[in-house]
Amino acid sequence: MILTILTPLIGVLGALLLSFGAWMIYPPAGYISGGLLCLSWSWLMAKFLSTSLNSTGGD
């Protein structure tokens, strides 16, 4: 149970740290990396949801 709570929190923390680190090097890079992380997360979740909804059709 703790892993189901801890896993997304670690992922969000990693994304924040990555964006913040890029921002410290060059401020627009922080926004770009944050946006790319959000886009990739959205794409992966849409892909996961579409496959999980299609597989639960039931025979």
Q: What pLDDT was estimated at residue 3? A: 83
Q: What pLDDT was estimated at residue 34? A: 93
Mean pLDDT by 10 residues, the chain (59 residues): 86 93 96 93 87 68
State if pTM tops 0.85. Answer: no
Rounded to 5°, the CA angle 36-16-52 comes to 60
Number of neighbouring beta carbons within 10 Å of residue 18:
15
- What residue ranges in 1-59 does DSSP mark as E strands? none
The structural domains of the chain, with segments of one domain joined by +, span 17-44
Q: What pLDDT was estimated at residue 4? A: 83
Instruction: Give the integer Cα–Cα distance in Å for 46 and 54.
Output: 12
As a whole number of Å, the end-to-end CA separation of the chain is: 31
